Structure formats: C-alpha cells, structure tokens
Amino acid sequence: MYFYGVNIGGFTSQADLTEKHLNTFITEKDIIDIKKMGFNIVRLPVDYFLFESDDKPYVYNEKRMKYVDNVIDWTGKHGITVILDLHKAPGHSFAFKERDKNDIWDKKSNSRKRFLKIWEYFAQRYLKVPHIMYEPLNEPVAPKDSQWISLAKDAVKAIRKHDKKHWIVVESNLWGQIATFKKMKKFSDNKIIYSFHFYEPLLITHQLAEWVSFYKFNLYRRNVEYPGRPENVGNLKEEVKKKDDSFASFLEKQDIYWDKSEIEKLIYEAVKFQKKYKVPVLCGEFGCIAKGSPQTRKNWTNDVIQIFKKYRISYTYWNYKNMDFGIVDYTKKYRDSPNYANKERKDYNVLKALQDGIL
C-alpha cells in the first residue's frame, strides 16, 4: 500500500462556506488536474458545520453534503482514492484559542455523542463507495494522549457498526506531531492506517506565518533558509510556553543545522512503528510555507519526499490550492511571490519534488 497525493483543504473546511465558494473553489477540473499530476489520492478536509448546525444537532443538510458527494464521485470517476477527514468536529478544534473550549474528551458530553453519530452517518452513507477511507479527526489536541486514543477507539467502533471493510486513518496526538507518534497505540482493528503530520522544523516551514504563536506574539519573525540553522533562537521555546503552553512543544531543539539527515531522524519515529507492527503509515499533511524562498521550499520538500519514498510512507501534501502552502495559488496575498512567478501560478519546484516520490 503506497499512496501519493494532496489535500484539497480550503474547500469544505477552513473557509467561508458560501454557495459561491463551494460551487467554484474545487470542481471536477481540479480532480482531473490532480490526476494529470500523477497523484492517486486526495485528502478531503470537511468541517462539521458544513452540514450540521449547532442549533440542530443530528440533522444533516443533504444540500450541503452534495459538495462532499461531488468530490467522492469525481475521485471515483478518475481513479483516485479519497480520505474523508473530519477537520473540525463538534467540541473540537485544533486552532489557537478555539481549542481552549474543546469538550469532546468528556465521555458524557453532547459533543462526543454528536461526533460519533457523524461517523455512523458517514459509514452508512459511503458504505458502498469502493475508493474511500475515513479519518475520524484532524490534528487532535487532547490534554492526554490516552484521551485521544480512547476517542479514536470509540470512533472506530462507531464506524465498524456499519462498515467493516474500509480503511480508517488515525493520527497521533497534539496536531499529529511526529514527537507524539512514539506514544501511538496499535489498534486491534487490522484496517488502520497510522498517520502523522510533518512540519519540522517549524521555524522553517512556518516562517512568518501570522497564525503561529511565535509570530503572533512577535517573538520570532525571520526568513530562514533550508538547509540551514535558524538564527537567534535563544530561549524562544520558553517565551512561547508563557503564551501558548501546548504549542511550545513544536519548538524543541530548533537551534541546530537542519538538513536531510536531521529530518530523517525525526521521521524515523514513524518508521520504527511501521516496522515493529508491519502496518501502513501515512503523512497526512506536510509542507513549507510560500513565504519561504523558492530554493528553501524546493530543498525541504525534496528531502522529505525522498525519505517518504525510501521507507514507503504514503503522503498527502498540504495543499493543492492556496492555503499558504499551495502547489498553485491564486490569492492576492501571494500575488508577488517568486514561488508562483508564472502565468499558471504554479510552484513547479514543489510539484516536481512531490512527483519524484511516485514509485
């Protein structure tokens, strides 16, 4: 089992979900283009409020679900596997500030009940779709790893009430960090794909990203080249910890010279799990922000892809279109970016690196 592809984030998640946006942002043409690029899988992030209102829990809007159905139909038509990823769930968000309100970890909460019902609904709805996989929750941020594992097991159980055949993708805790992958548990279900997200080192992949804590609090605002060593890191982790305790874990050991060998040391945590249990492993998200230089984006992506290829780690790059990491980008924000300095607004460096991972 080896998949290589992209996320189509910013469509049914992390977006202003207006009819205009939903009718135009991703169409069948995009799926055809993804197929032409050589990819065999897409990850489709979906926010629950696309189809369910907090005012009317357990009522699913069929009109809005057609946008999810469309992608599933198009991918099937063009021979692409699709991962249905619940990106934001009732009672759970991975975003700064929002995550302080998460109550999905409470086994008696209504949020948890709604979450599990959504997965029963999906499992029944897509039971006969041959090319789908399920990802119960994107980037869990449980206070304890055991809380996430407990919820994940409940989600698997909910899906298996109706669907015994489809693969289920389970991430590691705390944004899918590779650092928490070592605490991943092997499930008794034999159709689980174990997943992580990879944005290491964050000072390179998220340089000048306005939503991360070290930028938000004006603690580190620098361009950083890769391979290379971030300058003047100092006690950044400790300073971030004062502002955003859980996020500070991303800043462990940043002050080194980063190259392919250092990246491989981190990814090998997933490889050890893969070899020990003889299970498939997926990197569900990875990327280097378009605020980085073209050479940095190219070098970083190429190194990561070659490591994935070496160990047969499947991957879905973040992101196909826009969202600060896109292979293509049509936003005003990156209008003058040298990464998209062509009429197609396509980063050919990143695309070529991703295609080099195809076996």
What is the pLDDT tens value at each position of the chain, 359 positions in all? Answer: 899 999 999 999 999 999 999 999 999 999 999 999 999 999 999 999 999 999 999 999 999 999 999 999 999 999 999 999 999 999 999 987 788 899 999 999 999 999 999 999 999 999 999 999 999 999 999 999 999 999 999 999 999 999 999 999 999 999 999 999 989 999 999 999 999 999 999 999 999 999 999 999 999 999 999 999 999 999 999 999 999 888 888 898 899 999 999 999 999 999 999 999 999 999 999 999 999 999 999 999 999 999 999 999 999 999 999 999 999 999 999 999 999 999 999 999 999 999 999 97
Does residue 285 have an active-site annotation? yes
| Total domains in the fold of the chain | 1
Q: Which residues of 69-95 are buried (b: 16+ CB within 10 A; e: fewer)?
A: ebbbebbbeeebbbbbbbbbbbbbbbe
Please tell me the predicted confidence (pLDDT) of residue 1: 82
CB 191 within 8 A of CB 239: no
Which residue in 52, 135, 200, 285 is the catalytic one? 285
pLDDT at 244: 87
CA nearest neighbour of 287 among 245, 318, 253, 324: 318
What is the pLDDT at residue 98?
83
Give the pair of three-digit tokens for residue 131: 């090319």
Residue 139 bears catalytic tag: yes
Cα separation, 220 vs 203, whole angstroms: 8
Residue 232 in tokens: 């003047």
Residue linked to tokens 């950044």:
236
Q: What are phi and psi of 329, to 5 degrees?
A: -150, 125
Q: Which pTM value belongs to this model?
A: 0.97
Task: Check if the beta carbon of residue 99 is closer than 8 Å to that of residue 141.
Answer: yes
Q: Which of 135, 139, 171, 200 is catalytic?
A: 139
Map 244-256 to HEC letters.
CCHHHHHHCCCCC
Quote the domain boundaries for residue 172.
4-355
Q: In CATH, what number is assigned to the domain containing residue 244?
A: 3.20.20.80
- The pLDDT, as a whole number, for residue 4 is 98
